[in-house]
Each structure stands twice: as C-alpha cells, then as structure tokens.
Chain A
Amino acid sequence: MQMFNPYSLDGKTILITGASSGIGKTTAIECSKLGAQVVITGRDRNRLQETYDLLEGAGHLMIAADLTAAEEVEALLTELPQLSGVVNNAGIALPKLFSFTTNEEAEQVFKTNFFSPFELLRGIVKRKKLVKNSSVVFVSSIAGTTITSLGGSVYGASKSALNGLSKALALELAPKRIRVNTVMPGMIETQILADSSIGEADLEADRKRYPLGRYGQPQDVAYAIIYLLSDASSWMTGTNLLLDGGYTLT
C-alpha cells in the first residue's frame, strides 16, 4: 500500500541551478528521493557529476552551463524538457564594505544572483516549458529585505531584487497556474562560508546568535523548497518562506 505523501514529487520534472554544491546539490538529491526527475545545472562539470551520481531513481539530466553566458543559457534552454518546477538557486556572495566595492564587482554579483535567473526564467516561460500547476522557487535570503550585515550591501540588494521579481511573477504567471515563491534562509553551512574571509571563531560566535543554536543545514532549505515544489503548497504563491533558526526574532 502506498504511503500517503502530499509532499511527493512523483511525476514532476524539476530544474535546479547551482546544483554542483551547497543548497542546490542537496535540493537536487532530496527531490530525487521524493520521486522527481531532476535536471541539474552548474558550472563545474566534475562537481555536477558528483551530484548526478548521488541522485536516486532514474531519468535525470545533467547539463553543465555558465548561466552568465548567453550562448550557454540558450543551449540549456534548447535542451530542457517540459518542467514542473524550477529552483533558482545559483548565487554568489561578496562580503565587502560598500565604499570598497567596485562597479564591476557589483555587476558580477547581480549578473549571477539576479540577471541569470531573470534571463533563464524568461526563456523558460517564453518557450512554454513550464506545465500547468508548476512551481518556481527563488532562493533568496534574510539578507537584504529583513536583516543585513557589514559588507552585505550588494548581496542584500541582489536578494531583495529577487523578492521583488518573485512577487511580480507570481501575479503575472498565476493565470497560467504557475506559482512563484521564495525561500529566505539565514546562514547555511556550505562552501560559500568557507570561501569567505570570516574566521572560525567569528562564525562560532555568530552561530550562538541563532535562537535555535546553529546555522542551517542545506537539507533545512531543501525541504522548504520541496514543500513549495509539491502540490501541498498548491494555494501558495507570491510568498517568502522564512528559514532562519529564529534569527530575525531578535
């Protein structure tokens, strides 16, 4: 007898960007465990392969692409099958004070964090690749709209831009029965942390500022994304799922 599961992704095909590592990698794997066929994309072919090898089930697709390169986005769009969901997860951070941030650096962050999902989704919608009752999720952040930190200006701005975009898309795509939402995670234990110049002692101190006593794990975000991708959230659109271990309570 099949267990009742409203969060099942059986029969759904989900595209996940930034799937070579971090939140994207874990989300892809967890989606596959819930029965989805996933299409994973990322820049690093080797690490993307690692994700692919960890997927459960069959029928998955792996397409290496740099989403800031127009020709590669075009090639990806051509290869995409019909989709039931899109997870716009690829993103970079830039912890740097505003006055030291160059235009080029700011543009690079916006290119990856905002314009890439913008272009990709526009291509997907124009080519009618999203089926009825599908779901789009943007991985945003508590940074920008809700909290900020020293050096968080550009990153926060780019994530705030995603929140604004998501709301408008929720309205415009509702007639097509395409839902659009964001998840807004706090600090998550991924490579993006290891790559920053914040020391371990500072990170430890920061972890303690979370009422639930820890940073998030990639799975914490993955399961929220899965809720939004599943039929369980059929009546949710234009919202932001806050996932922050209680950080923004204080």
Chain B
Amino acid sequence: MELKTFVKNFAEQFDETDAAIFTPETKFREIEEWCSLTVMAIIGMADEVYHVRLTGDEMKASKTIEDVYNCVKSKV
C-alpha cells in the first residue's frame, strides 16, 4: 500500500483544492475545503480503494494525511 498513491487518492476527494498542495505532512483539517462531507468521502475512499473501514473517531485522532494512511495500512 503506497503512501504516494494514498495521498493522491486523498487529494481526489477535494473539488476546489489544488492537488499539488497535498503531501503526507499536510494537516488536512487546515484545508479550507475540509468539512463533514470530506470526512465521509475519505472514509468512503478507504472502503472503496483499500477495503478498510475507517471510523469517525479514527479520523478525529489523525492530524496529517500520513496519520490516516498509517491507520488504513494497519487495517489492510
């Protein structure tokens, strides 16, 4: 499960934000577009692409995209 691809999949859930700004260190909550819809979109992506079930609490506990990646990776 590749980090670079994960970041790309993460970025794809955003419509208004330039994909170029997304890195593993990105604190996703600071992105202006971030909202409850994007939380669910990331959860949906984790399920669709990685077949992993992320919970709302796990998203809450994550600060960077890499945090989310690690969480998903541990469940693969």
Contact = CB atoms under 8 A, between A and B. Distances in A.
A197 B56 contact: yes
A99 interface: yes
A201 B58 CA distance: 12
Q: Dominant SS at the B interface?
A: helix
A96 B37 CA distance: 11
A100 B44 contact: yes
B33 to A, nearest CB: 15
Given A150-B36, A197-B54, A199-B55, A97 B41 contact: yes
Interface in B23-76: 36-37, 40-41, 43-45, 47-48, 53-57, 60
Nearest to B55: A197
Interface footprint category on B: 10 to 19
Interface footprint category on A: 10 to 19
A224 B57 CA distance: 34
Contacts of A199: 55-57, 60
A198 interface: yes
A150 B40 contact: yes
Given A150-B36, A150-B37, A197 B44 contact: no
Contacts of A100: 41, 44-45, 47-48
A22 to B, nearest CB: 21
B53 A197 contact: yes
B60 A96 contact: no
A198 B41 contact: no
A151 interface: yes
Nearest to B61: A199
A152 B45 CA distance: 17
Contacts of B47: 96, 100
B18 to A, nearest CB: 21
A160 B44 CA distance: 24
A202 B56 CA distance: 8
A91 to B, nearest CB: 20
A250 B75 CA distance: 40
A96 B39 CA distance: 11
B56 A198 contact: yes
Nearest to B49: A100
A109 B52 CA distance: 20
9 contacts: A96-B47, A99-B41, A99-B44, A100-B44, A150-B36, A150-B40, A197-B55, A200-B57, A201-B57
